[in-house]
A = this chain, B = another copy of it.
C-alpha cells in the first residue's frame, strides 16, 4: 500500500492535522480529515502559486484513495483556495492584484461589521483583555519586533470578531483570512515607520470607540484601518519583492 513517491516538483511532507476549527461535522469522516489537512497544507503555502495540485501524489502522501481527496478538492475550490480546470485537474489559485483588493475590502467589511456587533455585546472583561493586547502590541512596536507586533495585532482583531458573538461571521472571516494568508504580504509592508505609527494611532481610536460602545463609529474606523492596511499591502506587492521568497 505505502508505495514510494515518484519525484515531482511538489515537496512531499505530510501536513499534521491541526486542531479542529469551523466546519460542520466534517472532521469525523475521512473526507473531513483530508479536507482539514489539505486546507492547511495549501494555506501554509506548501504548493506554489498557480501550480497543479498533484492528485495521485497527494493520495500516496496521505495514504488514501482518490475519492475522498477529490471531494476535498471540490470543497477547497468552492472556498476559493484552488481552482478546477476542466479535464486538467486543480491548480492553486493565483490571486491577481484585483482579487487581493477585493478580498481586503471584504475582510474590511467583515471586521467593520464585527466591531459594530461587538459594541452591542462585549463585556468589560473582554475590553480589558483587548487593552492588554494593545499594550503588549505597543511594546513590540517600540522594540521594532514585527513578528510579535503582527501576532498581537492579529489576536486583537480576532478578539473583536469573537466579541461579535456571531459564529457565522466568524466562520466567514476565517475563510477569507485563509485565502489571504497564502500571500505573505505582512512580511515587510510595515517596514515603513510612517504606516506603522499610523496603524498604532488607528488602534488607539479603535479601542476608544470600543470602550464607548460606539458601534457605527467603530465600524467606520475599522473599515478605514483595514483599507489603509490594504493600500500598504498592495503597494508592497507591486514593488520589487525584496523579501518574498517562494519557499523559505
Whether B25 contacts A85 by the Cβ 8 Å rule is yes
Bound Cα distance A112, B106 (Å)? 11
Bound Cα distance A149, B23 (Å)? 37
Instruction: State whether the Cβ of A102 lies closer than 8 Å to any Cβ in chain B.
Output: yes
Bound Cα distance A219, B113 (Å)? 10
Instruction: State whether the Cβ of A40 lies closer than 8 Å to any Cβ in chain B.
Output: no
Instruction: State whether the Cβ of A131 lies closer than 8 Å to any Cβ in chain B.
Output: no
Cβ of A75: which chain B residues have Cβ within 8 Å of it?
Answer: 74-75, 78
Instruction: State whether the Cβ of A31 lies closer than 8 Å to any Cβ in chain B.
Output: yes
Bound Cα distance A67, B167 (Å)? 31
Bound Cα distance A66, B142 (Å)? 59
A67 contact from B67, B220, B223, Cβ within 8 A: B67
Instruction: State whether the Cβ of A99 lies closer than 8 Å to any Cβ in chain B.
Output: yes
On A, residues with C-beta under 8 Å from B are 23-26, 28-29, 31-32, 67, 70-72, 74-75, 77-80, 83-86, 99, 102-103, 105-106, 108-110, 112-113, 116-117, 166-169, 172, 216, 219-220, 223
